[in-house]
Amino acid sequence: MNIYEITFTRENGSTGKDRIAAANEKQARKDFREIYRHSSATITDVIVAAENVPASKQQERDALDQIGPSWTPSGRTATSPRPSLDASRTPRRTSKTTLRAA
């Protein structure tokens, strides 16, 4: 992610600057248009203010939404079966299991 500083002209002729985190300049321009969609601000200049900045949590969520619902952090989907315990493993001894044996 990069941070782009966008200089723009407002409807009344004044200028402004805003910083937007995006993967590339095209995405920064698109995000700018989305943010300022209710005004007729015109972009006059775009410069890279910082490079290799970590993505925000919202940007990470948006990226995961684009990947789709089949991807999960654990690698399992909602319909995949739960992993079974290894048959050779014995259950751990706890106070409840030792009291029953007595």
Query: If you search the block for the tokens 């690698």, which residue do you land on?
Result: 75
- Spatial distance between the Cα atoms of 18 and 30, rounded to a whole number of angstroms: 13
Coil/strand/helix, residue 3:
strand
pLDDT digits (tens, 9 = 90+) for 33-83: 999 999 899 999 999 999 988 888 888 888 888 887 665 556 556 666 666
**Computed from CA positions of residues 23, 25, 7, 48, in that sequence, does the dihedral angle turn out positive or negative?**
positive
pLDDT band at 90 (very low <50, low <70, confident <90, very high): low
pTM over 0.85: no
In the CATH hierarchy, which fold is given to the domain comprising 2-67?
A: Ubiquitin-like (UB roll) (3.10.20)
